[in-house]
Amino acid sequence: MANTASFKAPPAAEQDAVFQAIKRFLENRTGGVFTQPVELSTPLMNSHLDSLTVLQLMMFLSDELQFELQEDDFVEEHFGTVGALVARILARRGAA
Amino acid sequence: MSPVLLHELLSGCADRDDREAIVDGERTFTYAQLRQDVERMACRFVASGAIRGDRVAIFLPKSYHECVAIFAASRADLVFVPINSGLRPQQVRHIVEDSGANLVVTSSAMFGQVSDALHGLDPSRAIICADKPGESREIPPARSIGEDLAAILYTSGSTGKPKGVMLSHRNLLAGTRIVRSYLGIGPEDRILAILPFSFDYGLNQLLTAVEQRAKLVLFDFKMGDEIVRALARHEITGLAGVPTVWAFLTLSAPSLARTPLPHLRYVTNSGGAVPSATVGRLRTLLPQTKIYLMYGLTEAFRSTFLEPEEIDRRPNSIGKAIPECEVFPVREDGRRAAPGEPGILVHRGPTVSMGYWNRPDDTARVLRPNPLRPPEMGGDLVCWSGDRVVEDEEGFLYFVAREDAMIKSSGYRISPTEVEEVLMTTGAFRQVAVVGLRDEWLGQRLHVVGVAGTAPIETSAVLRAAAESLPSYMVPRSIELVNSLPTTPNGKVDYQRLVAERS
């Protein structure tokens, strides 16, 4: 995640809102895939999520955080860890 | 001699034994290995005490072991009951209990899940971990015949819990032969298996590949780009998917547009209609690939397909009957519908199943005497689909609507009742209805319309409880609260109105 820090730092509150939304989905909507508390370092690609749950996560975030899903959102590098996904969504919202 | 039993798809053709059969991650297994492992696993089944006709539940991720277990069941005169590995304990328990399986095949990694799911049930049930060595002894040749039950596939019905559709060896082999012939599958094909084998359409990839000594690549994915990579890496020639797969490929796989896939000969869709816009995008992205739109219901295995040459002219059609079968709409008065006249899709032919396991009343509703010819004059039993369709002047069929409130989401047939029962157990609702709303990705998405109980509803807590008891494809996307649910004149919840008001 060191490489995301070199971009303009988003306000901490916004970053936390995105993180909390992802955490909420993963802890509450995946039926026990994440038994440990979700952190920024929690892996996504390398987890037991199935494709449908990844899609549901993105739909949930798109509803909660009010952005339109686009093709480039679904690139594996954004799903390395929860932190990587937070960075991607912040970048998306910043650009919008 | 042509095969009569499922495992006989593996016999003969010794000259092709060194061909690659199954790719599971980094490991590749030849047909010789597959046949040997099937024999060994069948011996283990028998050593566990299973006898002819017993059900063996297979609860494994999509894997080489799962393929072995499916054929081993047939070799040992048993009936296999594949269980989707994404199901939660309560569904697993229901399937094992309902099918009366006294043998469960799983892996050491999933053993804990199985024990939890079966907690408190008859402990005499044997559990085999396919990845561990076990006791085996030589067994005599199989004694089953083609009419014997080969598999029970669980599927949601409009009432109650999932029901097991009974398929004979003859049904499965007919489905294999028919689909292979119209897709032109041969020994040089390399098929990507992304659908579960607990789904008739997914199972067919395994059966057609084995019948033809083709190569089957087992694959799970999280993102569309992974599918594209697998298609290129394994030079895949055939891919079967459901509408959500095509959404993944056309809406969320940036690499598809820049990855040439010259080997991809065909793709097939089933498990719900693909939106015309998605078909259009697929045609642009895969200009060399034939697209087959198919329609089927587990109760008749496979029913219709549209010739790829017709897809530009009628992208909304489900086509015509598959070979060896007859499929036509029947009006409410039991007559065959004329072109333009809607009717219930009725299917005749060798893939018509044996009905629902242990549910004679439900079976009588879906398997009925041929409406056009009485039994004493040679009339057969036909499959009544519950799907309203219409035929055009040229005999092409079009899906109109379901007769009931069943939902098709991400390729799965989902019973609103099953989801509603789980929602009611949270105690949050006085009354609740689950409907399918149109969705670009899922075909239909699950939406809850509920009447709150005495306490205010905490949506996230309800969805959390739902996610604990339901597999991911059955967890609703959204909850809406209303003061009361609309009803039909006879007092039932008016699902059609609920959907219409939200479309």
Report which of B348, B283, B227, B51 is spatially closest to residue A76, judged by C-alpha positions. B227
* Cα(B242)–Cα(B311) distance, integer angstroms: 17
Cβ <8 Å between A52 and B464 = no
Cβ <8 Å between A52 and B225 = no
B437: left (phi over 0), alpha (psi -120 to 50) or beta: beta
ipTM: 0.86
User: What is the reported pTM?
Assistant: 0.94
CB-CB neighbors (< 8 A) of B92 in chain A: none
Q: Are B212 and B176 in contact (CB under 8 A)?
A: no
Name the residue of chain B whose CA is nearest to A33's CA.
B468
Residue A36 lies in a domain: yes
Name the residue of chain A whose CA is nearest to B472's CA.
A53
Residue A3 lies in a domain: no
Mapped onto helix, strand or coil, the DSSP state of residue B134 is: coil
Continuous segment of H or E residues that includes residue B447 = strand B443-452
The pLDDT value recorded for residue A9 is: 63
The structural domain count of chain A equals: 1
Write the single-letter amino acid at A14.
E
The closest CB to that of B464, out of A28, A60, A74, belongs to A28
Cβ <8 Å between B223 and A54 = yes
Residue A41 lies in a domain: yes
What six digits make up the tokens of B249?
């490929």
Residue A4 lies in a domain: no
List chain A residues with pLDDT less than 50: 1-2, 5, 96
B185, B319, B413, B436 from B273: Cα distances, Å:
23, 12, 12, 14
Rounded to the nearest angstrom, the minimum Cα separation between B487 and chain A is 30
Interface contact B222, partner A, CB < 8 A: yes
Residue A6 lies in a domain: no
Report which of A52, A30, A38, A51 is spatially closest to residue A81, judged by C-alpha positions. A38
List chain B residues with pLDDT less than 50: none
Pairing of strands B238-241, B266-269: parallel
Q: Based on the number of CB atoms within 10 Å of its own CB, is B403 exposed (0-12), middle (13-18) or buried (19 or more)?
A: middle
Continuous segment of H or E residues that includes residue B167 = strand B163-168
Residue A24 lies in a domain: yes
Residue A26 lies in a domain: yes
What six digits make up the tokens of B110?
């999933």
Name the residue of chain A whose CA is nearest to B409's CA.
A52
The closest CB to that of A53, out of B88, B441, B472, belongs to B472
The pLDDT value recorded for residue B12 is: 73
Q: Say which residues have a Cβ less than 8 Å from residue B88's Cβ, sequence separation at least 6.
A: A31, B468, B469, B470, B471
The closest CB to that of B222, out of A51, A71, A73, belongs to A51
Q: Based on the number of CB atoms within 10 Å of its own CB, is A13 exposed (0-12), middle (13-18) or buried (19 or more)?
A: exposed
* Most A CBs within 10 Å, among B244, B252, B439, B460, to test the A interface: B252
Cβ <8 Å between B252 and A76 = no
Q: Which residues pair with B419 in a beta bridge?
A: none
The closest CB to that of A54, out of B222, B464, B468, belongs to B222
Which CATH number do you get for residue A73? Answer: 1.10.1200.10
Residue A1 lies in a domain: no
Q: Are A69 and A9 in contact (CB under 8 A)?
A: no
Q: What is the DSSP letter of B356?
A: B
- pLDDT tens digits, one per residue of B44-99: 999 999 999 999 999 999 999 999 999 999 999 999 999 999 999 999 999 999 99
Domain span at A17: 12-95
